[in-house]
C-alpha cells in the first residue's frame, strides 16, 4: 500500500523529519521558506496531509480553494488562530494541534519576560554590553520586586497552569480569569475571577495565556490597562492579537505600566519598532516553544495525530 503523502511546510527538528520520512511519503522544505496561499492551494492537490506551523495561513478564502485530496491539517502548534476552523470543518478537513507539550517551555519564557521586565534586564544587559556601565549607587537601576506580588493570569489552560506553578516558586499570589473555574486540584489555591475587571484590579503582573479568538482580540486595551494597578507589568507569550499595541505603548509612555514582556506581536515576524524606544519593554521573537526538547515533542505529537488519522482512528488532538 502506498504511504500517505505529507507536506511538512517548515524545517522541523531532525528527529521529527526522520520519523516522518520513515512513515510517510514526505515533502520537506529544507530551505525553510514561508509558503503563500498560492503555494498552499497548489500543494493541497499533491498531498493527503499538511503538517504546517502557525506561519501558514488557512483563511476562509484559501480553504475554499483547497483540493479535495487534502484530508488533514496536523498543526505543529497549539495555537490555531491561523486556521479558519469553521471553513475547514465545512470542507470536511480534519484539523489537529499540539497541546500540552509546549507548556513548560512557554511558561519558562513568560517567567523570563516577567522577571526581565521587572528587574530591567534589557536595559542592564545593553548597558554592560555597550561598555556604558560606569557607576553604581543604591539608587542605580532600581526595579520592581517580583517575590510576594500578585500575578493575574488570563487563560488558565495548560500554559497558564504551569506559569502559576512557577510563580508560586516566587511566593506570588496567583489570580486567574478563565471561561470556567478549575477544579481545586488544578487551581492549587489560585483565586478565580469570573469577571475580568476584578482580576485586573489585583494584577501587579498580568500574564496572557488565552488563545486569540474574536472574543479575546484586543482584550488588553486602553480600558483594561486603566483597570490595572499603577506600575503593573504585562507579559504576553500567547498571541499578538490579544494586545492593542497603541494602548500598550501609551501606557508605557505615560508611566501607567512599569514595563512589559512580549514574545508575540501584531506583526510577525518583525514586531513593533515603536516598542524599541523603551528599554522597559523586554522583547523576544516568538520563541516560547523554541527548545530542542519541545520541538521534538511538538513534531512527534503532530505525527501521532497523523498516524491515528491514517490508521482510521480518532486523532487525540482533533479540533474539527
Residues identified as active-site: 239, 268, 286
Residue 26 pairs in a beta bridge with 6
Q: How many CB atoms lie within 10 A of CB 297?
A: 21
Shortest Cβ 211–ligand DGY spacing (Å)? 9
Closer by beta carbon to ligand DGY, 105 or else 174: 105
- Binding footprint of ligand DGY on the chain (CB under 6 A): 53-54, 77-79, 102, 288-289
End-to-end Cα, the chain, rounded Å: 27
Closer by beta carbon to ligand DGY, 9 or else 272: 9
Shortest Cβ 79–ligand DGY spacing (Å)? 3
Characterize 151-161 residue by residue with b for buried, 16 or more Cβ atoms within 10 angstroms of its Cβ, and e for exposed.
bbbbbbbbbbb
C-alpha cell of residue 294? 519541545
Closer by beta carbon to ligand DGY, 66 or else 78: 78
Spatial distance between the Cα atoms of 59 and 37, rounded to a whole number of angstroms: 9
Closest CA to 86 of 55, 56, 64, 53: 64
Shortest Cβ 158–ligand DGY spacing (Å)? 11
Contact 280, 255 (CB under 8 A): no
Shortest Cβ 76–ligand DGY spacing (Å)? 7
Shortest Cβ 102–ligand DGY spacing (Å)? 6
Closer by beta carbon to ligand DGY, 184 or else 214: 214
Shortest Cβ 285–ligand DGY spacing (Å)? 12
Closer by beta carbon to ligand DGY, 96 or else 144: 96
Closer by beta carbon to ligand DGY, 6 or else 102: 102
Amino acid at each position: 500500500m502506498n504511504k500517505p503523502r505529507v507536506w511538512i511546510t517548515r524545517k522541523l527538528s531532525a528527529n521529527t523529519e526522520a520519523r516522518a520520512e520513515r512513515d510517510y511519503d514526505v515533502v520537506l522544505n529544507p530551505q525553510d521558506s514561508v509558503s503563500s496561499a498560492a503555494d498552499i492551494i497548489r500543494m493541497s492537490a499533491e498531498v493527503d496531509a499538511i503538517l504546517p506551523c502557525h506561519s501558514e495561513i488557512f483563511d476562509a478564502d484559501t480553504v475554499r480553494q483547497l483540493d479535495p485530496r487534502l484530508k488533514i491539517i496536523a498543526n505543529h502548534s497549539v495555537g490555531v488562530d491561523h486556521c479558519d476552523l469553521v471553513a475547514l470543518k465545512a470542507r470536511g478537513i480534519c484539523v489537529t494541534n499540539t497541546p500540552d507539550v509546549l507548556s513548560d517551555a512557554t511558561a519558562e519564557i513568560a517567567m523570563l519576560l516577567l522577571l526581565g521586565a521587572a528587574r530591567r534586564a534589557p536595559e542592564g544587559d545593553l548597558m554592560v554590553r555597550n561598555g556604558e556601565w560606569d557607576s553604581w549607587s543604591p539608587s542605580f537601576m532600581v526595579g520592581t520586586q517580583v517575590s510576594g506580588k500578585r500575578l493575574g493570569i488570563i487563560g488558565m489552560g495548560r500554559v497558564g497552569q504551569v506559569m502559576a506553578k512557577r510563580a508560586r516558586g516566587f511566593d506570588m499570589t496567583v489570580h486567574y480569569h478563565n471561561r470556567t473555574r478549575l477544579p481545586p486540584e488544578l487551581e492549587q489555591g489560585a483565586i478565580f475571577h469570573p469577571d475580568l475587571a476584578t482580576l485586573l484590579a489585583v494584577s501587579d503582573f498580568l500574564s496572557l495565556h488565552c488563545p486569540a479568538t474574536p472574543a479575546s482580540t484586543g482584550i488588553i486595551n486602553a480600558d483594561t490597562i486603566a483597570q490595572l494597578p499603577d506600575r503593573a507589568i504585562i507579559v504576553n507569550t500567547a498571541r499578538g492579537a490579544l494586545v492593542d499595541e497603541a494602548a500598550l505603548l501609551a501606557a508605557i509612555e505615560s508611566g501607567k505600566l512599569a514595563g512589559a514582556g512580549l514574545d508575540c506581536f501584531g506583526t510577525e515576524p518583525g514586531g513593533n519598532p515603536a516598542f524599541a524606544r523603551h528599554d522597559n519593554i523586554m522583547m523576544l521573537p516568538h520563541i516560547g516553544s523554541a527548545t530542542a526538547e519541545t520541538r521534538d515533542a511538538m513534531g512527534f505529537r503532530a505525527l501521532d495525530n497523523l498516524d491515528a488519522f491514517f490508521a482510521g482512528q480518532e486523532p487525540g488532538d482533533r479540533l474539527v
